[in-house]
Amino acid sequence: MSNLSLKYQKDYKNAEYSNPRLTRDREKRSRRWRGFCLTIFMAVITGLIYLLFFSPLFEIKEVSINGLEKIKSDSIAKILSEYRGERRWLFLSNNNFWLFDAAAVESRLGQKYFFEKLEIKKKFPAAVTISLEEKISAVNWLTNNFCYHLDMTGMVIEYCDSATQNMTIKDMANRAAEIGQPAITREELVYLVEISDQFGMRTKNQFRTKQIEKFGNLFDFIQETGPILRFNYNLTAAEQIQRLGSLLEQPDFLASMSDMKYIDLRFGEKVYYQ
């Protein structure tokens, strides 16, 4: 048994023996390994970003538009081309499979057209298909120096370059029209169609209406030749057409009609003409 005093004895069993130089070398190797792994990770991430967003592999090359009837394909293609040519955050192109936003394109098309159905699908890896169904254009609506097409509910469905052979109505109040919103009520349109139909049958198509001018509840039917015919929405189409028909049965009235400016049927039993 050792006679060495306890206060001078050391616990050599739990003592640590390390070489400072070896410790530093291990730390350096560890740092180099972590740096290497980080470099590989960053290279993989950079390569993946380039592959997904910058490589030609996912650049949209084919756009198909199905269902067009009256609308020109160039009009739709122009809207798509403008969207595809734009960039996000200055360097990311919309003309990329992953960045192409179908909802954004639908919104842009909706600013100019109101479709019965519109569906936009992306096809991996570089194609887009647009399937649509046009609403039927029934009326040309002129207001505020713009031309619009309406369906038979009075809804504005698209801009138009010029009036077609459909019924043409000019809003004399020049109220602003908006795609997807009603410009005139369905009831008013039905009323005008009813007048046109009865008018044609009763007068044996003696008149050809060029344009209808809307003044609130009052409507002027502008003829290609002959007097303006004035109708009141608050009176039935039948009673006004009947009074016009009665006048047209009078030979003296017919003889002088070519010189008339208007025939006003808006005041009940009284008919005014000049």
pLDDT by residue (tens digit) across 233-250?
A: 999 999 999 998 888 888
Give the pLDDT confidence score for residue 16 in this predicted structure. 58
Q: Residue ranges of the domains in the chain? A: 23-53, 57-133, 139-273
In this structure, of 18-27, 130-139, 156-165, the range with the lowest mean pLDDT score is: 18-27
Per-residue confidence (pLDDT) for residue 204, from 0 to 100: 66
- pLDDT tens digits, 167-221: 999 999 999 999 999 999 999 999 998 998 887 787 766 778 899 999 999 999 9
CATH of domain 139-273: 3.40.50
What integer pLDDT is reported at residue 59 of this predicted model? Answer: 94
| Token code pair at residue 43 | 């290279």
At the topology level, CATH places domain 57-133 in Ubiquitin-like (UB roll) (3.10.20)
C-alpha dihedral sign at 122, 123, 124, 126: negative
- In whole angstroms, give the CA distance from residue 132 to residue 68: 7
Percent of the chain with pLDDT strictly greater than 70: 92
- At 154, the amino acid letter reads G
Pick from 139, 125, 153, 156: which is nearest to 53 by CA?
Answer: 125
Residue 18 corresponds to which tokens in the numbers above? 């390390």
- Cα separation, 163 vs 169, whole angstroms: 10
Helix (H, G, I), strand (E, B) or coil at 242: helix
Helix axes 186-202, 237-248, angle to 10 degrees: 20
pLDDT for res 207 = 76
Q: Is residue 5 scored above 70 in pLDDT?
A: no
Distance CA 170, CA 69 (A): 25
pLDDT, one tens digit per residue, over 49-70 is 888 999 999 999 999 999 998 8
For 135-172, how does the pLDDT look when each residue is reduced to its tens digit (9 = 90+)? 888 899 999 999 999 998 999 999 987 767 789 999 99
Q: How far is CA 1 from the centre of its chain?
A: 101
19 contacts: CB under 8 Å, gap ≥ 6 = none
H-only helix segments in 2-138 = 20-53, 73-84, 102-110
